[in-house]
Amino acid sequence: MIFSETGFHFSGSRSEGSQFAPRRLYCLAMNNPRADIPIREPAPASLDDTILPFEVNALDLRGRIVRLGPAVDAILTSHDYPLPVAKLLGEAIVLTVMLGSALKFDGRFILQTQSDGPVRMLVVDFTSPDKVRACARFDAERIVAAGAAAPGRLLGHGHLAMTIDQGPDMSRYQGLVPLEGNDLEHAAHEYFSRSEQIPTRVRLAVAEEFRGGESGAPRRWRAGGILLQFLPKAGERARQADLHPGDAPPGSETHALPEDDAWVEGRSLVATVDDVELIDPALSSERLAYSLFHEHGVRVFRPAPVSARCSCSRHSVEAMLKSFSQDERDDMVENGKITVTCEFCSSTYVFEPEEISANNTPLDS
Ligand SMILES: [Zn+2]
């Protein structure tokens, strides 16, 4: 047995060549007296396309580490966007997978930006339990002119929307965060601070890996991220310093709220994570969790898989076309056919106009 539902603590024992010091061997047992939790060493190599949930009970921290290889490569390669657009979309994919995979029900989690920068729109759609697809809209000339601009400048001003869709009979939930020239990490912090009031830190990284040799692709995309949240049992410990003084009269004392020591330690540790640690195939998510939190004892749960898959189908496209009026459909006919291309996966669906006439109803209606 390698994993159990109750999770595993990492042992502090050191394997050959491990970079981790053995001096904290005893801490796990001391910090957590439960003897029924198996202890083992962290896996050495990266398990790509996985989400690893973890918790650090001693600090009331919970989090997840996402590691994407073939999934992010498939999406970004199929679109062939300019590099800065691909990188930004890769970050949005990591963020969406981290948040969407935390849903405790079946449904879709959609992250969408709409803004006035060179990248006008990013859409990432996560369908539980494990499917992700993504696309972007951008202004090619402005991307070239922007050169190596920071991600926040590529997005510009606008908003980021996060939508939870549990199906046609359920209400949709949508959270909005303003984009004000900042990057997606910053937008995520804003969202959790204002809307959820959960102290949260997110790190996102995307890069192209270059490989030599005749076999295999010479370049491939990799991406990764870590999400950390402070969830103490006593809710008041999670209070954060006010972002705005509110409508307090001028001159009145601002209420300085010290941050909880456990959270300061947690967010400081996440701030030390380098991009390369999030994407290095030779560093497993477990080892990363261990290297960050081993002094306090870290418990990991069963990693969940994620894959790049589009949910479009001939049937769904047909139903969508039938929702238009006959006049609108007539306008879509080119060379005697209606052709629809999925913006997420570039699949093309070709219909005879008479296939979608009013007296030809969809199968499920
Ligand atoms: Zn598709």
The answer on pLDDT for 33 being more than 60 is no
pLDDT tens track for 49-67: 999 999 999 999 999 999 9
How many whole angstroms from 21 Cα to the centroid of ligand 1? 48
Q: What's the gap in Å between 197 CA and the centre of ligand 1?
A: 35
> Higher confidence at residue 281 or residue 4?
281
pLDDT of residue 238: 80
pLDDT at 213 exceeding the cut of 50: yes
- Residue 263 scores a pLDDT above 70: yes
Residue 210: the pLDDT is 84
Q: What is the pLDDT of residue 36?
A: 54
Q: How far is the CA of 214 from the centre of ligand 1 (A)?
A: 31
Q: Using the mean position of ligand 1's atoms as its centre, give its distance from the Cα of residue 340 in Å.
A: 10
Q: How confident is the model over 108-129, as pLDDT tens digits?
A: 999 999 999 999 999 999 999 9
If you measure from the C-alpha of residue 134 to the centroid of ligand 1, how many angstroms do you get, rounded to a whole number? 10
Q: What's residue 29's pLDDT?
A: 31
CA 253–ligand 1 middle distance (angstroms) = 55
Q: pLDDT-based confidence at 239, cuts 50/70/90?
A: confident
Q: Are 242 and 259 in contact (CB under 8 A)?
A: no
Token pair 């629809």 is at which residue? Answer: 340
Of the two residues 51 and 25, the one the predictor is more confident about is 51
Q: What is the whole-number distance in angstroms between the Cα of residue 309 and the centre of ligand 1?
A: 8
Does 168 have pLDDT greater than 50? yes
| CA of 343 relative to ligand 1 center, distance in Å | 7
Per-residue exposure over 263-282, b if at least 16 CB sit within 10 Å of its own CB, e if not: bebbbebbeebeeebbbbee
Provide the β-strand partners of residue 219.
Answer: 210
